Chains A and B, each alone.
Chain A
Amino acid sequence: KAGVTQTPRYLIKTRGQQVTLSCSPISGHRSVSWYQQTPGQGLQFLFEYFSETQRNKGNFPGRFSGRQFSNSRSEMNVSTLELGDSALYLCASSSGTAPSTDTQYFGPGTRLTVL
């Protein structure tokens, strides 16, 4: 069974630009969660989608948005990039049917650098 894939793996952008990251979950999984990982803040929850609906979101500005498609693939978008958005963006997939005990399978992440 193929794991979680994220594209692209590396991305360099400049301030003010926008970026779209993609995540393909494990086949059969309907939940996708997104996280931002930085050395200073660690892993921070961005949002979680299940069957195309956002069920929860973290404390990030509105510049961060996401969506999920009918095939469970998910994208996240960051508009008007700032230097502080440089981070590793991770997505995780799970069945979504038992959130408290589901196993989240993480992708390798997209390393975003904002210059």
Chain B
Amino acid sequence: TQLLEQSPQFLSIQEGENLTVYCNSSSVFSSLQWYRQEPGEGPVLLVTVVTGGEVKKLKRLTFQFGDARKDSSLHITAAQPGDTGLYLCAGVDAGGFKTIFGAGTRLFVKA
């Protein structure tokens, strides 16, 4: 059974602080995706990483895919209250037709 362990599950920080969310698995995925979900809405894709070792940046967010394509991290620099939300990592299996989600990290950024 493929599992994605995401940590931490909950994070409450002050505006301006940096943070990192981790996503780990014993399985290899063909790609790793990060989503953000707001209350009452479905998840929205932030980024997809495909190549082992790949690093992608989206403004203050930096995403990294592990060399072995089993783990990933999301780093937010100088967090803002607008970053508050549920962040989900998701691995697409090698067959490509199934997406496994981590349990999510609920981030709260205080002004």
Chain A interface residues toward B at CB < 8 A: 4, 33, 35, 42-45, 48, 50, 55-56, 58-59, 90, 92, 98-101, 103-109
- B40 near A108: Cβ-Cβ < 8 Å: yes
Number of contacting residues on B, CB 8 A? Answer: 25
Rounded to whole Å, the gap between the CB of A64 and the closest CB of chain B is: 15
Q: How far does the alpha carbon of A91 sit from the alpha carbon of B98 in the complex, in Å?
A: 13
Q: Indicate whether B11 reaches chain A with its CB closer than 8 angstroms.
A: no
Q: Is the interface of B mostly helix, strand, loop or mixed?
A: loop
Q: Which residue of A lies closest to B50 (CB)?
A: A101
Q: With A33-B99, A45-B100 in contact, is A103–B50 under 8 Å at CB?
A: no
Chain B interface residues toward A at CB < 8 A: 1, 30-31, 33, 40-45, 48, 50, 88, 90, 92, 95-104
Q: How far does the alpha carbon of A33 sit from the alpha carbon of B30 in the complex, in Å?
A: 18
Q: Please indicate the chain A residues that have their CB under 8 angstroms from the CB of B97 in the complex.
A: 48, 50, 55-56, 99
- A43 near B92: Cβ-Cβ < 8 Å: no
Q: How far does the alpha carbon of A55 sit from the alpha carbon of B104 in the complex, in Å?
A: 26
